[in-house]
Amino acid sequence: MRPRSTDPQDYQRVPHPVAAMPKDFPPGHHIPPHSHERGQLVHAVRGVMRVSAASQAGGRGTWILPPQRALWIPPGVTHEIRMSGAVAMRTLYIASEAAAGLPRDCRVIAVSELLRALILAAMEEPVEYEPGSRGAAISALLLHELRGIEAEPLHLPQPRDPRLQAVCRRVLDDPGATTGLEDFARDAGLSSRSLARLFQRETGMGFTAWRQQARLAEALAQLSTGRPVALVAHDLGYGSAAAFTAMFRRALGTTPKRYFARGR
């Protein structure tokens, strides 16, 4: 079998509802803003990705994706991807008519053992599989699985104001920093009260809650590589592993150990 193309354009008009593309990226690689004719399920079997995308409401969102998670991006949605470490991306391109039952906005989903196996199996089939073939059966089951999966609450809404965007970039680049709201506000040329009010209006979240969500997303990325809880807690500014685990449990309803055991 000849090597499969790694050009996304080659998958947009194949005569099948699902097309699977494997592609590996070096550490730090950046895919600039772009969109696809088809919907896209972005998943990495190795490495961590940070995906930013436009939302249906006109704003932007950011998601950090460890191997236990995938992101559904509807057709035509502009997005960009940054790699953290070497990334083995496995993408499904889903035709618009087949995506009709899927969300109309970006959604993070948990990758179950079955879904992961189906994604990998799709990579082994010809791009132009025959009707009634194994490839057709895998595609049908993939669509069935995706329509029944619930979204996970790991969305970081992005503000439109350039000053707030700069604040968000600083938090995402160093989520464990102890920089206070007053310092961010001074650097942005705002009072702390104005920054807090503007942040709430543009993201629908308070700044403290947004930063905690950013820390949680970074924690998931680090924990997915096998990094010990105590070291992750320290990196993210928590005084102890117990304090970090308590935050994790409040946000996701379970401990890090059980969360990743469920993902596997």
As to burial, measured by CB atoms within 10 angstroms (0-12 exposed, 13-18 middle, 19+ buried), residue 71 is buried
Residue 246 lies in a domain: yes
| CATH code for the domain in which residue 47 is found | 2.60.120.810
Domain-ending residue, one of 127, 152, 177: 152
Task: Indicate whether 1 belongs to any domain.
Answer: no
For residues 77 and 34, give the distance between their C-alpha atoms in angstroms, rounded to a whole number. Answer: 8
Domain extent, residue 211, equals 159-263
Give dist(CA 107, CA 231) in Å, integer: 29
Tokens of 210: 């947004």
Q: Give tens-digit pLDDT for 203-256.
A: 888 999 899 888 888 888 788 778 899 999 999 989 899 999 998 888 877 888
Question: Based on the domain organization, do 13 and 131 belong to the same domain?
Answer: yes
The total number of residues shown for the chain amounts to: 264
Separation CA 236–CA 238 (nearest Å): 6
Do the Cβ atoms of 151 and 63 come closer than 8 Å? no
What whole-number distance in Å separates Cα of residue 261 and Cα of residue 239?
25
Note whether 19 and 98 are same-domain residues.
Answer: yes
Residue 101's alpha-carbon distances to 13, 43, 97, 262, in angstroms, are: 20, 20, 9, 26
Output the pLDDT for position 157.
83
Q: What stretches in the chain show pLDDT beneath 50?
A: 1
**pTM for the whole structure:** 0.75
Check residue 27 and give its pLDDT. 87
pLDDT at res. 14: 92
pLDDT confidence of residue 57: 52
Q: Give the pair of three-digit tokens for residue 10.
A: 């080659």
Contact 188, 31 (CB under 8 A): no
Helix (H) or strand (E) run with residue 140 in it:
helix 134-147
pLDDT score for 154: 67
15 shares its domain with 133: yes
For the chain, what is the domain count? 2
Task: Annotate 12-25 with DSSP letters as a single string.
Answer: SS-SSSEEEEEEEE
